[in-house]
Chains A and B, each alone.
Chain A
Amino acid sequence: MTNLRAEGVSLGYDGLRVIEGLDLTLPDGKITAVVGPNACGKSTLLRGLARLHPLDGGRVTLDGADITQMPRRELARKVGMLPQSSIAPDGVRVAELVSRGRYPHQGWFGRHSSDDDAVVTTALESTGVAELADRPVAELSGGQRQRVWIAMVLAQQTDIVLLDEPTTFLDVRHQLDLLDLLTELNRDRGTTVAMVLHELNLAARYADHLVVMSAGRIVAEGAPSDVLTREVVDEAFGLQAQVVPDPVAGSPLVVPVGRYHSGA
């Protein structure tokens, strides 16, 4: 049981406040999706939760303990984070990249143990990239590459995994693939997943807990079917939309109206 929680956090860049006094608890063992318009602070919030961005106020706690009081390596054994658009170094191969996820578990001289090999192998297999182990990362397709990065975060063996827009640059089939993979992780290992997503309907379908943000604050949060109403979509995105049940999953499906096609 690990609980990551933001308590009255304020975040910003160079004096420009993006988020002011925000509270959020990631439900343990669930998938949380954070959605919101561009520049609403959702990525900044995730970075703050992972201690990639300094807080201007408030605190982030893991099981009640302030994460800034924790050694970074200890935090990295409990909370994994995949930042937006990571770039692999030239020439690095899949297995080597994934094995860098073992860093927080290794001692001073960074020697790999046979345990590390087993964890790396599991991570490669559960993300379906085991047969690519000896391939240079640069030669892979976008979908494969994203799986490799997720394998690296898995090799970190954390109870909580944060992902900043993991589906960006993927076509719709690979987006579904990736979200299915994260669902498997969540169900099979009980990993708490929190991710920033752009695609509202996929977020509503895959998340247990949906957080809608706008202008640095949380507009609504809860089960997607409770949260994603036309009022909330209007408030957060300034968008007229109809919300109907997703014929496949039953989750809310946002159908935007726009200016030219409103005559039903």
Chain B
Amino acid sequence: MTAVSTTSVTAIAGLRAVRRRRQVLVVTGMVVVVLAAGTGALLVGAAGLTPGQAILGALGIGDKGDVFIIQLLRLPRIEAAVVVGAAFGLAGALFQSTLRNPLASPDILGISSGASLGAVIGLLALGLSGVALSGLAFAGAGVVALAIWLLAWRKGLHSIRFVLVGVGFAYLCSSLVAWSMARVEENEAAAVLVWTVGSVSDIRGEQLAFVAAGTLALCAAVAVVSRNQGPLALGDDNARALGVHVDAARIGSLLLAVALVALATSAAGPIAFVALVAPAIARRLVNDGGAALAASAATGAALTLVADVVGQHGLLGVAAPVGIVTGLVGAPYLLWLLATNEKRSR
């Protein structure tokens, strides 16, 4: 064990810099996608605006009609897709890396459906909105998470039982949501769409500001706990041997993830598969064996916005809410994941 040469230390530092650059590159790439799709969404629509009119509208000067279209219709929808998508992407990455299972995402496990059910109960039975509504969504998601924990935890993290119990809860909650909707007398089609498939078309003003601020705060909290993810990914024993309080770290990460899902769902409903697919894409692009948290949030935002633009402008033949488009993209991915999962697990 001779003294280490400075050249090899530089080489190791270089490798680390390469990995870091790659993370930044993926996030930047996703931001570019968001900007491109956002620009497209601002310009394209029933009221054809020129880029000049759109810019003036965004700044609040120019024609009153243009300002209304941009500031109250198009811009909020874009912002909502980005915020909600980032929240789902980050939540999915936290779930998957904390539970060390690429299938254990909040949409598959029924956490999103639980949040949706909580929000529906809050909205229809209690007439809540804003913080209180998000609180009830959090309660719904938390109850499902706790129930899965109690029913399946002892069987181990990788157990298929864990996922199956979650899938069971997902169906239960979705059915209860559908049942609640069917009982509503002034049954608005739009509301049904939000709570069953998810939509970002009606989030604006105070609600948007609340969801955005909440997501930002939760992202900051995630940044603080994210350093545990590296050791946690090596397994419980290794993480403990490295000095991590495994149970506390896991519960902390999952609570933050549940809060992100609840916040996003209370506004946009359970948008399918974003939490499952975005982290998988991000991890594949970053490919450093890490949790790719920032990249997952950026990918979730890009994915949701692009899906919403595709759905909104009838590229599927009819105008569809974002959740239908993400479902069409996500379901085949899930099938592929299930088909190849056996080979990937060593």
Do A and B make up one complex?
Answer: yes
**Residues of chain B contacted by A104 (CB below 8 angstroms):** 242-243
Is A50 part of the binding interface, using a Cβ–Cβ cutoff of 8 Å? yes
Are A51 and B230 in touch, CB under 8 angstroms?
no
- Residue interface mask A108-126, B partner, CB < 8 A = 1: 1110101001101110111
Are A96 and B288 in touch, CB under 8 angstroms?
yes
Are A52 and B283 in touch, CB under 8 angstroms?
no
Are B231 and A100 in touch, CB under 8 angstroms?
yes
A89 touching B9 in the complex, CB below 8 Å, given contacts A52-B240, A184-B1, A189-B1: no
Q: Of A75-83, A213-221, A239-247, which stretch is located at the interface?
A: A75-83
Is A133 part of the binding interface, using a Cβ–Cβ cutoff of 8 Å? yes
Cα A76 to Cα B346 with chains together (Å): 28
Are A101 and B344 in touch, CB under 8 angstroms?
no
A95 touching B346 in the complex, CB below 8 Å, given contacts A89-B289, A103-B243, A121-B8: no
Is B159 part of the binding interface, using a Cβ–Cβ cutoff of 8 Å? no
Q: Of B13-21, B82-90, B327-335, which stretch is located at the interface?
A: B13-21
**Residues of chain A contacted by B289 (CB below 8 angstroms):** 88-93, 96-97, 136-137
Are B235 and A52 in touch, CB under 8 angstroms?
no
Count of chain B residues with a beta carbon within 8 Å of a chain A beta carbon: 35
Are A106 and B227 in touch, CB under 8 angstroms?
yes
Is B167 part of the binding interface, using a Cβ–Cβ cutoff of 8 Å? no
A156 touching B242 in the complex, CB below 8 Å, given contacts A96-B288, A108-B224, A188-B1: yes
Q: Which chain B residues numbered 103 to 132 have a C-beta less than 8 Å away from chain A?
A: none
Are B234 and A100 in touch, CB under 8 angstroms?
yes
Are A76 and B227 in touch, CB under 8 angstroms?
no
**Residues of chain A contacted by B242 (CB below 8 angstroms):** 76, 100-101, 103-104, 156
**Residues of chain B contacted by A124 (CB below 8 angstroms):** 12
Cα A72 to Cα B246 with chains together (Å): 10
**Residues of chain A contacted by B245 (CB below 8 angstroms):** 72
> A-B pairs with CB below 8 Å: how many?
124
**Residues of chain B contacted by A96 (CB below 8 angstroms):** 15-16, 19, 288-290
Count of chain A residues with a beta carbon within 8 Å of a chain B beta carbon: 55
Is A87 part of the binding interface, using a Cβ–Cβ cutoff of 8 Å? yes
Is B233 part of the binding interface, using a Cβ–Cβ cutoff of 8 Å? yes
Are B288 and A109 in touch, CB under 8 angstroms?
no
Most buried by A among B226, B230, B233, B344: B230
**Residues of chain A contacted by B339 (CB below 8 angstroms):** none
Q: Which residue of B lies closest to A75 (CB)?
A: B243
Q: Which residue of B lies closest to A118 (CB)?
A: B9
- Residue interface mask B226-259, A partner, CB < 8 A = 1: 1100110111011011111100000000000000
Q: Which residue of A lies closest to B10 (CB)?
A: A117
Cα A133 to Cα B9 with chains together (Å): 11
Are A52 and B1 in touch, CB under 8 angstroms?
no
Residues of B within 8 A of A (CB): 1, 4, 8-9, 11-13, 15-16, 19, 100, 223-224, 226-227, 230-231, 233-235, 237-238, 240-245, 283, 287-290, 344, 346
Contact sample, A vs B, 6 pairs, CB 8 Å cutoff: A52-B240, A92-B233, A110-B230, A118-B9, A125-B4, A189-B1
Residues of A within 8 A of B (CB): 47, 50-52, 71-77, 80-83, 86-93, 95-97, 99-101, 103-104, 106, 108-110, 112, 114, 117-118, 120-122, 124-126, 130, 133-134, 136-138, 156, 184, 188-189
4 further A-B pairs in the complex, CB-CB below 8 A; given A112-B16, A121-B12: A89-B289, A92-B290, A96-B19, A114-B9
